[in-house]
Amino acid sequence: MSSQSTLADDDLFGEAAAEMREEVEGHLADARASLPDSEDIWDAEADNVLGVLNALKSALDVGDAEEHLRQAKKTFIVGQRAEAFDDPDSLEAEIEAIEELLASIDDAEALVGDLTGTMPQLRSQLQEAAEAAADAEDGDESDD
């Protein structure tokens, strides 16, 4: 192999590495763009707590963020194993930050789901307790 073809191979490798980095960064940007808007999960307009919880559950939808992150990770792993990136730590840190954020959103979504199921049941139990207290009070008054 001549030194000229080696230089051409090095140029091609450098070009491919730059394209891989751009692809990873593009997928990470797309993942971040797919994340819920902070105001959408903070502001809620509803008539009751169940409406707020349902709105919050909808607002926590991450869209295609997980798929974009998956694509970024696939390209990153290939580039990392080929030692194609000058600074793989910065890309890895970005990937980890988005993974952690998606995990936090997933945790919040699970909590909201639990509350969505619990709140109507709690309301019903409180109504029954209030009715029982009212019945007991009526019973005490009739004893007089």
Count of alpha carbons within 13 angstroms of residue 81, beta-carbon side: 5
pLDDT of residue 90: 95
Mean pLDDT, range 4-29, rounded to an integer: 89
pLDDT of residue 108: 97
Q: pLDDT tens for residues 36-83?
A: 999 999 998 899 999 999 999 999 999 999 999 999 999 999 999 989
Contact 62, 34 (CB under 8 A): yes
CA angle 66, 69, 75 (to 5 degrees): 145
135/106 Cα distance (integer angstroms): 44
Each domain of the chain, given as residue ranges in start order, spans 3-143
Q: At what angle do helices 3-34 and 88-143 cross, to 10 degrees?
A: 20
Place of tokens 């509803």: 46
pLDDT of residue 138: 82
Question: How far does CA 75 lie from the centroid of its chain?
Answer: 21
Mean pLDDT, range 25-30, rounded to an integer: 97
